[in-house]
């Protein structure tokens, strides 16, 4: 009976283990980088571009997003396909966003540190 319980728990844990990300989906590390870059774009647009009334904000954001996709060697279609996959797999998505949150916190801490003043020698 005890062995049956152990085997049952083993089967359940294997069945619940997250499967690897399919090949047509951006892996978590790459997805995190793209999402991070897109967040930075949104911060830039919301803090600076929005102040310029001559700029079409939606168009500017779209152009900047395309640059992010190009730099990260992906496409808008691949990104949104991956985004949809991660939304449907909350266990994987949670890990991705938790590490993204930590990365952003570390960056804020680094940016808040006082910079040493440069002096002429």
Task: Determine the Cα angle at 99 with ends 94 and 102, to 5°.
Answer: 125
Which pLDDT band, with edges at 50, 70 and 90, does 80 fall under? very high
User: How many domains are there within the chain?
Assistant: 1
pTM: 0.71
Q: Give the lowest-confidence range in 28-37, 50-59, 83-92.
A: 50-59
* Average pLDDT value for residue range 86-106: 91
What average pLDDT score do residues 108-117 get?
A: 84
Position 48 in a domain: yes
Kindly give, in sequence order, each residue whose CB lies less than 8 Å from that of residue 66, ignoring residues fewer than 6 positions away: 76
Q: Is residue 38 part of a domain?
A: yes
Asked if the structure places residue 120 within a domain, the reply is no
In a domain, 44, yes or no: yes
Does residue 40 fall inside a structural domain?
A: yes
């Amino acid at each position: 009976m005890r062995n049956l319980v152990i085997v049952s728990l083993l089967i359940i844990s294997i069945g619940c283990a997250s499967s690897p990300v399919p090949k047509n989906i951006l892996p978590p590390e790459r997805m995190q980088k793209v999402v991070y870059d897109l967040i930075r774009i949104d911060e830039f647009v919301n803090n600076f571009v929005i102040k310029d009334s001559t700029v079409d904000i939606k168009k500017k954001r779209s152009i900047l997003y395309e640059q992010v996709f190009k730099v990260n060697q992906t496409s808008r279609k691949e990104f949104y396909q991956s985004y949809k996959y991660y939304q449907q797999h909350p266990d994987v998505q949670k890990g991705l966003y938790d590490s993204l949150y930590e990365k952003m916190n570390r960056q804020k801490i680094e940016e808040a540190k006082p910079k040493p003043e440069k002096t002429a020698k």
